[in-house]
Structure 1
Amino acid sequence: MCGRLSQYRGIHDFVDTLAMPGAWRNNIDGPGEPRYNVAPSTPVVVLRVDEAGLRADRVKWGWRPHWAEDRAPPINARVEKVAHGAFFRAIWPHRAITPVDNWYEWVDEGGPKKQPYLIRRRDGRPALCASIGQFAGQANDGFVIITADAQGGMVDVHDRRPIVLSPELARAWLASTTAPAQAEQMALNLGEPADAFEWYRVSTAVGNVRNQGPALIQPA
């Protein structure tokens, strides 16, 4: 998964897609601008559950443990290693969902620049991406999106994909009653298949993180 995504729908749309019963808390100041071109190390809307229930926050995309200051914070974690490797051990218990409208990948097609592709759900719903993070209200808070090997035709665009869960599985992913081993099996085996998504070429303007607006998600 390449390091760029979109969150242009409102937070209420993301929460409605999750369809979790009960009240929820919006901890984001103001309605916020639609974001069509979100880069790593910037705040991203995440959904998570604490002792008071579901909440929406903006959290920095990227995280590293305190002992890994010699490297840039990763934005993704490989599902094959995330549950047992030392790097993400501290945040593996802290699960979240990152709702995205789409993400972008770049493909070398022989031109002067790599060709960007947009990937999104075929049914038009936000993609609920399995994530983990540090959510302690501290300066070094952050999160990563869990990724798996790409499948089917998606391999032609990129060899990795975020693990996107159905609303039912996303609710289970967030639930404190879901054991870590069960969450690992969900991530390994129950992500949405490649045929749940569509992808197409978009403008190379998306390569500049300063560019925003709905023109970025239109087919090139």
Structure 2
Amino acid sequence: MCFDVSFSSGLETIYDYLPDLDKSQLNFDFEPTYHKLGIGAYPLWPVLINDMDTIKVVKYNWGPIPKMLNTIEKVKKQRQMFLNSRTEKYLTPGTMWNAILHQRCIIPVTGFFEYREIGPNKKICYYIRRRDGKPILLAGLWALSNSWDVDKPEKIPTFTMGTREANSLLRYIHNSGDNRHRMPMILKPGAELNWLNSELDNHGINDMLSYEVPSSDLIATTVRSVRKVHPDDETVIEPFEYPGINVDCEESEYALS
């Protein structure tokens, strides 16, 4: 699923893209990273939240810890299930996501990684980014979670990344697994901050979540597998040709370049 992300530029990129943000609210550093894996690591990541009608960039842990995960053993075994959340359930009463729907956040990335199955136990990795090179802003939800860790505070700020049905490009790439044919919920460029509007009603939320980024707005490049040990530098996102494997772009409606 959507567990691998990149933010290879500094936080200034966010403020360049969203010039109306108040830089004085920024009180932490975030080093550029070419790959972070959510599973097992649950890294700290910059997210945008609405704090008393002020948009702030804060740093939260990726991966909520629901109340039913009430032991360290359960957290270790099941937390990864909450790294992503299906946006189709956000407006469903009684779901945990609906309960925190008012706690919306935006997750900035410069790109994300996904795998395409090309044979039994054989996959190739793609790096997906915006064609215009600008940041991708993803819809998410945040929560204060029990840490169940004696070395951490009682509550830790966390977030989950929203996902939706994939567009044609990501359907081609993300073609296997229980959650195949899904992709991160990319917010409509130019209207992303509406996701943090405290007055947004269910109709407005549904309207935002119905947006499907055109496949032609994205570029997907084959790269080395990000699930192997590697330095956190630009080599992670360098194009890579898999020996002996023909990446047949004609299978997709859009060419993968």
Q: TM-score range by the shorter chain?
A: 0.7 to 0.9
Separation in structure 2 between the aligned mates of residue 210 and residue 141 of structure 1, nearest angstrom: 29
| 1:219 Cα deviation after fit | 0.7
Gapped regions of structure 2 (runs ≥ 5): 146-152, 175-180, 241-257
Partner of 1:169: 191
Partner of 1:116: 125
Contact 1:4 1:104 in 2 (8 A): yes
From 76, 79, 82, the equivalent of 1:72 is: 79
1 or 2 for the larger relative contact order (CA 8 Å, sep ≥6)?
1
Question: 1:2/1:76 Cα in 2 relative to 1: closer, same or farther (>3 Å)?
Answer: same
- Give aligned-pair identity as a percent: 27
Q: Is 1:16 the equivalent of 2:16? A: yes
Separation in structure 2 between the aligned mates of residue 184 and residue 27 of structure 1, nearest angstrom: 33
TM-score, normalised to structure 1's length? Answer: 0.87
Contact 1:65 1:88 in 2 (8 A): no
Partner of 1:207: 227
From 91, 100, 103, the equivalent of 2:109 is: 100
Contact 1:24 1:53 in 2 (8 A): no
1:1-40 matched pairs, under 5 angstroms: 1-20=1-20, 22=22, 25-28=25-28, 30=29, 32-40=30-38
| 1:138 Cα deviation after fit | 5.8
Q: Is 1:90 the equivalent of 2:99? A: yes
Matched residue SS, 1:154: helix
| 1:209 Cα deviation after fit | 5.6
Question: 1:24/1:98 Cα in 2 relative to 1: closer, same or farther (>3 Å)?
Answer: farther
Separation in structure 2 between the aligned mates of residue 16 and residue 183 of structure 1, nearest angstrom: 26
Partner of 2:250: none
Partner of 1:131: 140
Taking only aligned residues, the RMSD between alpha carbons, in angstroms, comes to 2.3
Partner of 2:178: none
User: For the pair shown, which has the larger CA radius of gyration, 1 or 2?
Assistant: 2
Matched residue SS, 1:123: coil
Matched residue SS, 2:137: strand
TM-score, normalised to structure 2's length? Answer: 0.76
Contact 2:144 2:155 in 1 (8 A): no
C-alpha deviations, 1:107-166, integer Å up to 9, x for none? 222386521110111111010101111158963421111111111132111111111113
Question: 1:177/1:138 Cα in 2 relative to 1: closer, same or farther (>3 Å)?
Answer: farther
Separation in structure 2 between the aligned mates of residue 20 and residue 140 of structure 1, nearest angstrom: 28
Matched residue SS, 2:35: strand
Separation in structure 1 between the aligned mates of residue 107 and residue 21 of structure 2, nearest angstrom: 18
Gapped regions of structure 1 (runs ≥ 5): none
Matched residue SS, 1:114: strand
Question: 1:110/1:33 Cα in 2 relative to 1: closer, same or farther (>3 Å)?
Answer: same
